[in-house]
Amino acid sequence: MFAKTTVLGAFGAIWAAGAVWAADPVVFGTNWLAQGGHGGFYQALVDGTYEKYGLEVEIQPGGPQVNNRPMLSAGRLDFLMAGNLLLSFDNVRNGIPTTVVAAFYQKDPQTLMTHAGQYDSFAALTEAPTVLISKDGQFSFWQWLVDDHGFRDEQLRPYGFNLAQFLSDEAVVQQAYGTAEPIYAADQGAEVDTFLLADHGWSTYAATLETRQELVEENPELVQRFVNASIEGWNNFLYGDRTAAYEAIMAANPEMTVEKLDKEVAQFEKLGIIDVGDAETLGIGALTDERVKAFYDLAIASGIIEEGSVDLSKVADTSFVNKGHGLDIKAALTAD
């Protein structure tokens, strides 16, 4: 049974723009158990930001036994924290009427992880005897690694999300989520290097925010309120006091501790995942048609998807972001 966290917005709550709403119920699904990578949403939940925007928000975590993805199109979720753009391309290709309205990670945290000092460059990884890649990775970024960077299928071995093989062989390279496996390996006494795929051309957004096209068309004002409140939550989480957000995350996922959350947030900062690139001028959540098209072209060139299989006009709606929302909060919190 997954945990649920709810905050009740007061009837007639006042939004920042001065308009008045009854508290609108919103169910938001994340992509995994509560963790630091969801911090901005929990921050907005517990510090009253969603309430300020007239929203009664329930966060429904994902997890090993919970697949939130189909819940969005089925109407059981209003918003979903998705993965990267390949999932959105799949939705469009399969006629599922959802669209991306924000991108909270400007870089995908997907990395290749090695033992520290074993390989002196990203290019050197092409000579590794073994590269561990999951089944999903083999049909996505691995094809790009082969096509763009000279990796070879002879290196490929399946990754079963267990560190044992990596820890026992210093020549092994394995895929890793930048805020997860490097921390777990360090806890096992292994010093590691991480090579962020985004820094070598893997240009997808991650932690995208999806909603149903129906909601965009019929209630764009609610979509805007949820996006704005979430942006504020991320600014307050990254640059303000995140204590209450930590407490909410740990309540939803008892396996989390302050120490684990601190390490995760530190990795986000070290790798430059969230408030970088366009987000620095357009605001957290920035999303541009140009980048969506660029990643679409990459996916075609690498043979991940077929040309003409995706109507790009249905993938993302950039009208809810890129307005500099939240930059004032960041400026105030970082002024000292």
Give me the amino acid identity at 149.
H
pLDDT digit of tens for each residue in the chain (336 aa)?
333 343 333 333 334 444 454 689 999 999 999 999 999 999 999 999 999 999 999 999 988 877 888 899 999 999 999 989 999 999 999 999 999 999 999 999 999 999 999 999 999 999 999 999 999 999 999 999 999 999 999 999 999 999 999 999 999 999 999 999 999 999 999 999 999 999 999 999 999 999 999 999 999 999 999 999 999 999 999 999 999 999 999 999 999 999 999 999 999 999 999 999 999 999 999 999 999 999 999 999 999 999 999 999 999 999 999 999 999 999 999 997
Pick the CATH number of 5-107+204-333 from 3.40.50.720, 3.40.50.2000, 3.40.190.10, 3.40.50.1970: 3.40.190.10
Pick the CATH number of 110-200 from 3.40.190.10, 3.30.110.70, 3.40.1530.20, 3.40.50.720: 3.40.190.10
Identify the sign of the CA torsion 79, 8, 257, 228: positive
Beta-bridge partner residues of 48 = none
For helices 220-239 and 39-46, angle between their N-to-C axes, nearest 10 degrees: 100
pTM above 0.85, yes or no: yes
Give me the amino acid identity at 171.
A
> Is residue 289 within 8 Å of residue 246, measured between CB atoms?
no
- Cα–Cα distance between 22 and 41 in angstroms, integer? 21
Buried b (16+ CB within 10 A) or exposed e, 150-164: ebeeebbeebeeebe
